[in-house]
């Protein structure tokens, strides 16, 4: 497509939603690329409507989760050279119908809505925005820990039920300050490192378990200890999960690991649901072996309304919102826009998938 002066402009199709707003993408791309782009936008209804999964519909094999009707997405993208999206699907069959497409910028940590093998085979570059919500999740994690250690959730629920829990001031029942606790951080990636940075301000003892990374010099100087997972489980008053989901980590906090945790310890998961064995967690919580848990992500989402963990009094649950912040939207849009700019300028991508 050419503008009035005849200069070629890159055609960019934007498929946003009610979190990653199309207009936020538009502003970021225009700021980065100016008049070198021609934009058009579509808004999907997520999160007001749920995502779909690649196993649930014929023709979208290879996609883990996405939102959007494949035919409608193909019709919208049409002859665009670039697609910027968070959730729109791109299957092999869809890519066959989009011969002009050269770049897909996915504004999330992983391109789970794209058939990556099909994209590579067709010469379509896919980029993502890793770490876009790392700050948001780290802050949320600290709040989750405090909600449990300082009995914020327990006090709130009692007052909502019309009960004044004066007993929460009893020495044998009241909360504990982070400054007297040992916190174990499992996974030392973009979120885990930020959680450690925030925890230092509370003066707690910090243990980190991640066999694939090394601690920073600053962390070592501040007394952070790099230890095996077994030691974290045995010594930590709070265990916070921040590992990626891989074949190795799927279900890696199971019955044996939960039994190895200190009696009365707290478990926090703001990472991914499949890291946990939920049947084993229910047993550890209902038996009183664990003092409590804060769960932000789940193996099945939305969780079933009759799920047993919803009934336990020592669990705080939130609907996968740790990464949801205005700053996350801004960071993701700017990162995607920079990838579009680099594509137009013939420069290599920053975050190729």
**Which has the closest alpha carbon to 45: 72, 13, 67?**
67
- The Cα 82–Cα 77 span in angstroms is 8
Nearest to 45 by CA among 23, 17, 72, 69: 17
Euclidean distance between CA atoms 261 and 85, whole angstroms: 41
Question: What's the farthest any 2 CA atoms get from each other in the chain?
Answer: 77
CA gyration radius, the chain: 23
Strand segments, DSSP code E, in 145-192 are 182-186
Q: What tokens does 20 get?
A: 């990653």
Q: Give kind and range of the element (H or E) at residue 259.
A: helix 255-260
Angle among Cα 123, 125, 129 to the nearest 5 degrees reads: 165
Does residue 292 contact residue 285 with C-beta atoms inside 8 Å?
yes
Burial of 198 (0-12, 13-18, 19+ CB in 10 A): middle
SS3 205: strand
Active site positions, annotated? 272, 301, 320
């Amino acid at each position: 497509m050419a503008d009035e002066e005849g200069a070629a402009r890159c055609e960019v199709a934007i498929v946003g939603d009610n979190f990653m707003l199309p207009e936020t993408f538009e502003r970021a791309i225009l700021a980065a690329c100016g008049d070198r782009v021609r934009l058009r936008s579509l808004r999907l209804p997520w999160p007001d409507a749920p995502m779909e999964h690649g196993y649930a519909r014929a023709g979208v094999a290879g996609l883990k989760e996405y939102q959007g009707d494949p035919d409608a997405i193909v019709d919208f993208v049409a002859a665009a050279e670039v697609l910027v999206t968070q959730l729109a699907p791109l299957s092999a069959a869809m890519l066959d119908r989009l011969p002009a497409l050269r770049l897909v910028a996915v504004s999330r940590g992983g391109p789970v809505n794209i058939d990556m093998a099909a994209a590579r085979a067709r010469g379509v570059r896919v980029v993502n925005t890793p770490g876009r919500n790392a700050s948001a999740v780290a802050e949320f994690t600290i709040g989750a820990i405090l909600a449990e250690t300082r009995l914020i959730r327990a006090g709130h629920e009692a007052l909502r039920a019309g009960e004044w829990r004066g007993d929460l001031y009893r020495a044998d029942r009241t909360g504990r300050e982070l400054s007297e606790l040992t916190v174990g951080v499992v996974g030392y990636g973009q979120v885990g490192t930020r959680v450690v940075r925030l925890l230092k301000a509370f003066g707690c003892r910090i243990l980190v378990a991640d066999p694939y990374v090394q601690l920073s010099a600053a962390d070592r100087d501040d007394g952070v200890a790099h230890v095996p997972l077994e030691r974290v489980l045995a010594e930590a008053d709070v265990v916070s999960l921040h590992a990626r989901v891989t074949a190795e980590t799927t279900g890696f906090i199971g019955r044996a690991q939960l039994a190895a945790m200190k009696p009365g310890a707290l478990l926090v998961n703001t990472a991914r649901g499949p890291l946990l064995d939920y049947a084993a967690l229910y047993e550890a919580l209902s038996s009183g072996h664990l003092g409590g848990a804060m769960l932000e992500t789940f193996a099945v989402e939305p969780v079933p309304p009759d799920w047993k963990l919803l009934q336990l009094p020592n669990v705080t649950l939130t609907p996968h919102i740790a990464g949801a912040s205005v700053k996350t939207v801004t960071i993701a849009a700017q990162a995607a826009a920079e990838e579009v700019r680099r594509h137009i300028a013939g420069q290599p991508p920053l975050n190729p998938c």
